[in-house]
A and B are shown apart, each in its own frame.
Chain A
Amino acid sequence: QKEVEQNSGPLSVPEGAIASLNCTYSDRVSQSFFWYRQYSGKSPELIMSIYSNGDKEDGRFTAQLNKASQYVSLLIRDSQPSDSATYLCALNTGGFKTIFGAGTRLFVKA
Chain B
Amino acid sequence: GAVVSQHPSWVICKSGTSVKIECRSLDFQATTMFWYRQFPKQSLMLMATSNEGSKATYEQGVEKDKFLINHASLTLSTLTVTSAHPEDSSFYICGAGGSVDNEQFFGPGTRLTVL
Given contacts A32-B101, A42-B109, A49-B101, contact A97 B49 (CB under 8 A): yes
Q: What is the chain B residue whose CB lies nearest that of A31?
A: B102
- A interface bracket (residues with beta carbon within 8 Å of B): 20 to 34
| Most A CB within 10 A of own CB, among B1, B32, B102 | B102
Q: Are A96 and B106 in contact (CB under 8 A)?
A: no
Q: Does B80 contact A (CB under 8 A)?
A: no
Q: Does A17 contact B (CB under 8 A)?
A: no
Set of chain B residues within 8 Å of A90, measured between Cβ atoms: 104
Q: Are B43 and A95 in contact (CB under 8 A)?
A: no
Q: Are A43 and B43 in contact (CB under 8 A)?
A: no
Set of chain A residues within 8 Å of B43, measured between Cβ atoms: 88, 100-103
Known: A96-B95, A98-B102. 19 other contacts (CB 8 A): A32-B102, A32-B103, A43-B106, A43-B108, A44-B93, A44-B106, A46-B104, A46-B106, A49-B101, A92-B102, A96-B98, A96-B103, A97-B32, A98-B34, A98-B104, A100-B44, A101-B43, A102-B43, A103-B43
